[in-house]
Chains A and B, each alone.
Chain A
Amino acid sequence: MPAPISVSVCVRNLVRRYGSVEALRGISFEVSPGEIFGLLGPNGAGKTTALECVLGLRRPDSGSVLIAGMDALARPGVAKELIGAQIQAATLQDRITPRRVLRLFAAFYRNPAPVEGLIEKFGLSEAADARFDSLSGGQRQRLFLALAFVNNPGLVVLDEPTAGLDPRSRRELHDIIVDMRRSGRTVLLSTHDLDEAHRLCDRIGILDRGMIVATSRPDDLIAATAARSTVVVRTVRPLDPARLASLTGVESCRQEAGRWILVTSNINETLFGLARCVELGANEFVDLQVIRPSLEEVFLSLTGRPWADSTRGEP
């Protein structure tokens, strides 16, 4: 398969309304060539609508979408030559086979990827001639990804790519997405999985109620929050609460189910002090955990709402 040309994405002031509902309220973001950019947000935040505008499935009420510097709204046919996509709520005919559908879709492009190569790359060799309705969930997902690669795209757009997958399929898919970046492709994906966003994305844009409330590297977003780290510790002999509360950086401490939970603003100093305390008391660690702040805290600090509340009812 020839190396793809990485393409950039530039979205500016995108607005999309459905009747009186404003799904996108002037969102802007940029994705650099070869970057994995994630749109992170709860259901109904506008992720799918944003991706559909980029893909040309939906026309925004206002705003612009540039793909590789080209106006994708004015030239959707040309833009679609550069994009491979895996979208939600799209399926295939029951009786079609992976080989047949890959050949069909490849026929629409000027420079398609070899179908047999895609079948091999996405692990579909055994199922290549099986009916679509007989494929497992993982095989279907791989087939949709293979379809996204059928035109050897420079930009791959994935809408909730791991939704509904079992852990093994999810891990496989993560590897494939990372491999996309390795092969020089630009990846734009949406997810409501915080862990997935943190693990996969070079940068994320947090989307809430049709607006992007923050865009940065996941670690930078976490570092920028006022959230604190937490140390969970259990020892052989009891610890002195007063001693724990006086450790450098500790802002609060409480005991739960035989474990001490320390919230600290200075994780290094707190751990160092805790180790000395245990050593001096001739005590011994049974359990020691450090819980760093996550994107969940970032979302809470940016929106004022807990992530769990926003995603309640999601799969």
Chain B
Amino acid sequence: MRGGRGNLRGVFQHFLLSLELNLRSKQAIAYGYLVPVLFLVAFGSVFRGETPALLGEMGQILTITILGGACFGLPTSLVAERERGIWRRYRLLPVPTSFLVGGVLAARLVIVISAVALQIALARLAYGTPFPAHLLLAAAGVFIVTASFLGLGLLIAALADDVPAVQAVGQCVFLPMILIGGVGIPLIALPVWAQRVSGFMPGRYAVDLLQLSYGKAPGNNEGYFNGLALAVIGVSAAVSGAKLFRWEAGRRISRSAWVWLGAALSAWIITGVAAALTGRLAPRQPPNAGYEAVSENQIAAITYDDLPGDAEFISRLSRPFNDGGEAEGVGPFAAKLKAWPPGRTSDAGQSTRNLLSVAVIADASRDQYEGEIARLVYNDLRSNLQDEQLCRVLAWIVLYPQEGTVITSAPELGLERQYTERFIRERTDLYARKFLGRLRGKIRD
């Protein structure tokens, strides 16, 4: 490109100017730095009792900081300049508008990252919150979350006609994430439906990704999934925002705006569906909360319509039998199962998971007695636990499939094939609901 060096010098100057003007704006300082500090103080007041304080909430606090700077600060500044005709003047420059927008985004990235650093430092000073345990992961997380939310900010700027509209559109993004997206209120405090809905919003992934750097040892796949989810959402929003970018006030958004808006929102849906299909939207419980915490409403909300039939290929279940399975030829297996230690642990929830795993392994390995083994498991559970307790346990397994551990192979029972943990957890849900449905009278035996 002719004049490329001049262009880059100009873009860099523009980047510096954007930074300078932001730091000289009282409004920008208030929104970018002071309001996030108010959230920090609010969180600090609510979660003061934890040790160390705010360690479990830093993901939320940093996400709120980034959301404010990227989804309000960026579009407010862009739209205010557009309304005043500043971008109209920029259009006369011999440089593509995208270069200038890139400079503004880079400046905003610096501003948001500095606000995040301030929050981390203030949390340390005021509440003794430790610094992130994994600095590299923290840096990568902050960068990915900020870049993703800047993409959303660009889209908001493109859609909003004026500064008040930025506030309105921004709140449409901000408030749901704060209230039911796991950003303002922790996921574990939300009802199950809200936890599932949160999987369709980027805030949840941002919180999880940022919280990872404060956790124990990183390296599980969650970080990659969260990063990928944010990248998909951020890139789709940024592309849509760039396509719809308006450099002058009064220029209406075109009809194609709906298509691009749809493209950006579909990224949220795709991400949520992917999370649901990979079992990532399983409801989370407060630490140490077991099946006893499951409420009657939660049990009543469980559905059974989509279960396969008992004689079908998946999750077979034989007709009831009462004689210990002798007539059906599973008497020896029943005896082994009664003596199987994993089915007799002191934790009823874990024992039930283990026994359900046996039914799943038999089913998956196409054992000749797969249906009868499942029936034996059901009978065994009923003989060991009261119906009400068993209902809670089974509901807990349905609602929180990622909790506890599962058995992936049981050679001591003659079930030698090995299956993945994910597979066992998915199939366990089917048997848990079949058994629960029978106990609750929803499925006829």
- Chain B residues 1-41 with CB under 8 Å of chain A are 1-3, 5-7, 9-10, 12-14, 17, 21, 24-25
Q: Does B339 contact A (CB under 8 A)?
A: no
Inter-chain contacts of A85 with B (CB < 8 A): 92
Q: Are B7 and A87 in contact (CB under 8 A)?
A: no
A sample of 22 inter-chain contacts (CB < 8 A) reads A55-B92, A56-B91, A56-B92, A76-B94, A77-B1, A81-B2, A81-B3, A87-B88, A89-B85, A89-B249, A91-B89, A92-B86, A93-B21, A93-B81, A95-B21, A105-B10, A105-B93, A107-B10, A107-B13, A108-B3, A108-B6, A108-B95
Q: Which of A78, A80, A92, A110 meets B93, CB within 8 Å? A: A80
With contacts A90-B85, A91-B85, A92-B86 taken as known, whether A77 is within 8 angstroms of B3 at the C-beta atoms is: yes
Docked Cα-Cα span, A109 to B95, in Å, equals: 9
Closest B residue to A144 by CB, please name it.
B89
B252 smallest CB distance to A (angstroms):
10
Find residues 84-125 in chain A having any chain B CB closer than 8 Å to their own CB.
85, 87, 89-93, 95-96, 100, 103-105, 107-110, 112
Q: How far is the CB of B107 from chain A (nearest CB, A)?
A: 13
A57 at the interface (CB under 8 A from B): yes
Asked whether B96 is an interface residue with its Cβ less than 8 Å from the other chain, the reply is yes
B9 and A90 form a contact (CB under 8 A):
no
B residues near A56, Cβ cutoff 8 Å: 91-92
Beyond A92-B89, A108-B93, A108-B95, whether A100 also contacts B10 by CB under 8 A is no
Assess whether B92 is in contact with A109, with CB atoms less than 8 Å apart: no
A residues in contact with B12, CB < 8 Å: 107
Q: Please list the 4 inter-chain residue pairs (A to B) with the smallest Cβ-Cβ separation, ordered nearest first.
A: A108-B10, A80-B94, A90-B85, A90-B89
| Interface class of chain A by DSSP | loop
Tell me which residues across on chain A come within 8 A of B438, comparing CB atoms: none
Q: Is B84 an interface residue (CB 8 A)?
A: yes
A57 and B94 in contact, given A103-B13, A107-B6, A110-B3 (Cβ under 8 angstroms): no
Q: In the complex, A87→B89 CA distance in Å?
A: 8
Closest beta carbon of chain A to B226's beta carbon, Å = 37
Among B81, B86, B89: residue with most chain A CB under 10 A: B89
The answer to whether A80 and B17 have CB atoms under 8 Å apart is no
The chain B residue sitting closest to A112, CB to CB, is B6
Interface size, B (range): 20 to 34
Contacts of A55 in B (CB 8 A): 92
8 Å CB contact of A90 from B5, B7, B13, B88: B88
CA distance A87 to B92 in the complex (A): 9
Given A78-B2, A110-B2, CB of A96 within 8 Å of CB of B17: yes
Q: Return A89 CB to nearest CB of chain B, in Å.
A: 5
The CA of A14 and the CA of B192, in the complex, are separated in Å by 61
| A104 in contact with B88 given A78-B2, A78-B94 (CB within 8 Å) | no
Q: In the complex, which of the residues A56, A77, A108, A110 has the most CB atoms of chain B within 10 Å of its own CB atom?
A: A108
A151 contacts across to B, CB distance below 8 A:
94
CB-CB under 8 A from A107, the residues of chain B are 6, 9-10, 12-13
- Complex Cα distance, B93 from A55, in Å, reads 10
A89 surroundings in chain B (CB, below 8 A): 85, 88, 248-249
Q: How far is the CB of A68 from chain B (nearest CB, A)?
A: 14
* B95-109 interface bits toward A, Cβ cutoff 8 Å, 1 = contact, 0 = none: 110000000000000
How far apart are the CA atoms of A313 and B206 in the complex, in Å?
55
Q: Given A57-B88, A91-B86, A93-B86, 16 more contacts at CB 8 Å?
A: A56-B92, A78-B2, A78-B94, A89-B85, A89-B248, A90-B89, A93-B21, A100-B17, A104-B14, A107-B9, A107-B12, A107-B13, A108-B6, A108-B95, A109-B6, A151-B94
Distance to closest chain B CB from A287 (angstroms): 48
A312→B21 CA distance, assembly (Å): 41
Whether the Cβ atoms of B14 and A77 lie closer than 8 Å is no
The answer to whether A96 and B92 touch (CB under 8 A), given A90-B85, A108-B6, is no
Q: How far is the CB of A75 from chain B (nearest CB, A)?
A: 9
Instruction: Enumerate A27-79 residues with CB–CB distance to B below 8 Å.
Output: 55-57, 76-78
**Which residues of the partner chain B approach A77 to less than 8 Å between Cβ atoms?**
1-3, 94-96
Residues of A within 8 A of B84 (CB): 91-93
Chain A nearest CB: distance from B77 CB in Å? Answer: 10
- Note all chain A residues with C-beta closer than 8 A to B95: 77, 108
A244 to B167, CA, bound (A): 74
Contacts of A81 in B (CB 8 A): 2-3, 94
Listed residue (A81, A95, A109, A147) with the most chain B CB atoms within 10 angstroms of its CB: A109
Bound: A103/B14 CA distance, A: 10
Known A89-B85, A95-B25, A107-B13; contact A57-B92, beta-carbon cutoff 8 A = yes
Known: A77-B1, A77-B96. A104 touches B10 (CB 8 A): yes
Chain A residues with CB under 8 Å of B85's CB are 89-91
Q: Point out the residues of chain B lying under 8 angstroms from A95, CB to CB.
A: 21, 24-25
What CA separation (Å) do A85 and B94 show in the bound complex?
Answer: 12
Alpha-carbon gap, A56 to B96, bound state (A): 11
Question: Which residues in A have their C-beta under 8 angstroms from that of B10?
Answer: 104-105, 107-109
User: Which B residues, 89 to 142, have Cβ-Cβ distances below 8 Å to chain A?
Assistant: 89, 91-96
How far is A104 from B24 in the complex, measured between Cα atoms in Å? Answer: 17
